[in-house]
Chain A
Amino acid sequence: MSKEEKVLKKKSPRNAKWGYIFIIPFFAAYICCTLIPQLMTFYNSLFMNYRDGLTQVGPKFVGLQNFVKLFSPDNSGTIGILKYFGNTIILWLMGAIPQIVVAMLLAVFFTSYRLNIKGQQFFKTVIYMPNLIMASAFSMLFFTLFSPVGPVNQLLLGAGWVDKAVDFLNIKISVRVLISLMNFLMWFGNTTILLMAGIQGIDQSLFDAAMVDGASSTQTFFRVTLPLLRPILIYTVITAMIGGIQMFDVPQILTKGIGMPNRTSMTVVMYLNNYLTTSKNYGMAGAVSVVLFIISAALSLVVYSSLSRQYKKPARHRKY
Chain B
Amino acid sequence: MKKKLTAILTASAMVAALCACGGSQPAATTAAPAETPAATEAPATEAPAAETEAAAETEAAETEAAAEESSEGKVFNIYAWNEEFKGFFEKYYKVPDGVTVNWIITPSDNGAYQQKLDEALLNQENAADDDKVDMFLAEADYILKYAGSDATQDITKIGVTDFSNTYNYTVQAASDANGVVKGVSFQCCPSALIYRRSIAEDVLGTSEPDEVQAKLDSWEKFNAVAADAKAKGYYMTPSFAETYRVFSNNCTTPWVDADNNLQFDPQIEAWMDQTDEFIKNGYTLTAGIWDDEKNAQMFADGKTMCFFGPAWYFNFCMGNAQDPEKGCSGDWAITEGPAAHFWGGTWLMAPAGTDNPTMLADIMNTFINDEEVCSALVENEAQFSNNQAVNAKFAADESYGNEFLGGQNDVAVFSAMTDNIVWENHTIYDQLLNEGLQNQMQEYYKGSVDKETALKNFYNYVNETYPAIVTPQ
Contacts and interface: CB of A to CB of B under 8 A. Distances in A.
Interface of A: 18, 21-22, 24-25, 28-29, 32-34, 36-38, 40-41, 44, 50-55, 57, 74-76, 80, 135-136, 144, 147-150, 165, 167, 170-172, 243, 246-249, 256-258, 260-263, 269, 271-282, 284-286, 288-289, 292-293
Interface string B439-473: 11001001011000100110111011111100111
| Interface secondary structure of B, over-half rule | helix
A171 B448 contact: yes
Interface stretch (B58-66, B115-123, B240-248, B270-278): B115-123
Given A32-B22, A54-B145, 9 more contacts: A28-B18, A52-B467, A54-B118, A144-B292, A170-B443, A170-B448, A247-B33, A260-B439, A260-B448
Interface of B: 7-8, 11, 14-15, 18-19, 21-23, 29-34, 36-45, 109-112, 114-115, 118, 121-122, 145-146, 148-149, 151, 286-287, 291-293, 296, 428, 432, 439-440, 443, 446, 448-449, 453, 456-457, 459-461, 463-468, 471-473
Contacts of B443: 170, 260-262
Given A50-B467, A53-B428, A262-B449, A147 B292 contact: yes
A76 B472 CA distance: 12
B468 A272 contact: no
11 contacts: A24-B15, A29-B21, A32-B22, A38-B38, A74-B459, A75-B473, A167-B446, A246-B33, A269-B37, A279-B465, A293-B38
Nearest to A23: B11
Contacts of B459: 74-75
Given A28-B19, A279-B465, A148 B293 contact: yes
A37 B22 CA distance: 10
A24 B11 contact: yes
A275 B41 contact: no
B22 A277 contact: no
A25 B38 contact: no
Contact of B464 (A147, A256, A275, A280): A275
B36 A258 contact: no
Given A25-B14, A278-B466, A258 B33 contact: no
A272 B467 contact: no
B36 A246 contact: yes
Contact of A54 (B15, B44, B149, B461): B149
Contacts, number: 179
A277 B110 contact: yes
Contacts of B287: 148
Contact of A281 (B43, B149, B467): B467
Nearest to A14: B4
A167 B292 CA distance: 13
Contacts of A281: 467
B446 A170 contact: yes
Nearest to A35: B38
B466 A289 contact: no
A246 to B, nearest CB: 7
Given A75-B459, A277-B110, A40 B45 contact: yes
A78 B3 CA distance: 64
A261 B446 contact: yes
Nearest to A55: B149
Contact of B115 (A37, A167, A263, A278): A278
Contact of B11 (A22, A278, A289): A22
B33 A248 contact: yes
B39 A33 contact: yes
